[in-house]
């Protein structure tokens, strides 16, 4: 991912481009969310970094195969890698979740309440999951957020969708994916829908 920042404060005419999920999300949290980090807890910060790294290493680099041209073998490998990454994440949630005094929705406990602190890991994964929720069941016949096989991911994702800021992100991204669908993005790649399109 790339974030373009209009550099109005600089004497230079050039804008700033930030790369990598954690860099982008950390900037947005520092810029727009007060007290978004608990610097006093290095283990907590390390866990956040681990979850974001897991996202960038095992998940996001395969995401383009869901909506870009690739061979059947590349697509299969991408889908399998995504599933493997989600299984790793589910296992980590199982080990780390449901502790006392929750500090982060994803890392600790999505059942803790709507006011639990959100971390950069939550934001990184949430945007990716919107793609999965829309694309994978409809075009590839898989249910990556099945509550039986990945109950904690399912719980966390549905909890995130109830937060006002996340609801807005979900709505805007979902509308963009619907436009892709209507424009024939997947049929032009040779895919046949395996499930009907659905609204949010």
Q: Mind listing the pLDDT tens digit for each residue in 68-101?
A: 999 999 999 999 999 998 998 888 777 765 444 4
Q: What is the mean pLDDT of residues 121-140?
A: 92
Give the integer Cα–Cα distance in Å for 129 and 192. Answer: 21
Domain residue ranges of the chain, discontinuous segments joined by +: 38-189
- Supply the pTM of this predicted model: 0.78
Who has greater pLDDT, 22 or 73? 73
Please give the torsion angle defined by the CA atoms of residues 161, 18, 4 and 134, in that order, rounded to the nearest 10 degrees.
-30
Q: Which helix (H) or strand (E) holds 65?
A: none
**Per-residue confidence (pLDDT) for residue 9, from 0 to 100:** 56
Q: What is the mean pLDDT of residues 50-73?
A: 89
Which CATH fold would you assign to the domain 38-189?
A: Glutathione S-transferase Yfyf (Class Pi); Chain A, domain 2 (1.20.1050)
Question: What token pair was written down for 42?
Answer: 């290095």
């Amino acid at each position: 991912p790339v974030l373009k920042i209009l550099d109005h404060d600089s004497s230079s005419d050039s804008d700033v481009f930030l790369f990598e999920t954690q860099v982008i999300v950390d900037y947005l949290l520092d810029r727009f969310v007060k007290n978004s980090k608990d610097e006093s807890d290095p283990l907590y910060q390390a866990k956040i970094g681990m979850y974001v790294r897991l996202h960038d290493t095992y998940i996001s680099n395969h995401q383009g195969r869901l909506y870009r041209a690739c061979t059947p073998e590349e697509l299969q490998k991408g889908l399998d890698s995504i599933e493997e990454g989600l299984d790793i994440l589910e296992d980590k949630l199982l080990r780390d979740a449901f502790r006392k005094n929750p500090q982060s929705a994803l890392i600790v406990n999505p059942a803790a309440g709507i006011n639990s602190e959100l971390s950069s890991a939550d934001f990184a994964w949430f945007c990716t999951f919107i793609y999965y929720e829309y694309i994978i069941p409809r075009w590839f016949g898989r249910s990556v957020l099945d509550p039986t096989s990945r109950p904690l991911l399912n719980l966390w994702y549905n909890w995130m969708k109830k937060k006002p800021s996340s609801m807005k992100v979900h709505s805007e991204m979902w509308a963009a994916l619907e436009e892709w669908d209507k424009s024939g993005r997947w049929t032009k790649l040779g895919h046949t829908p395996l499930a009907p399109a659905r609204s949010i």
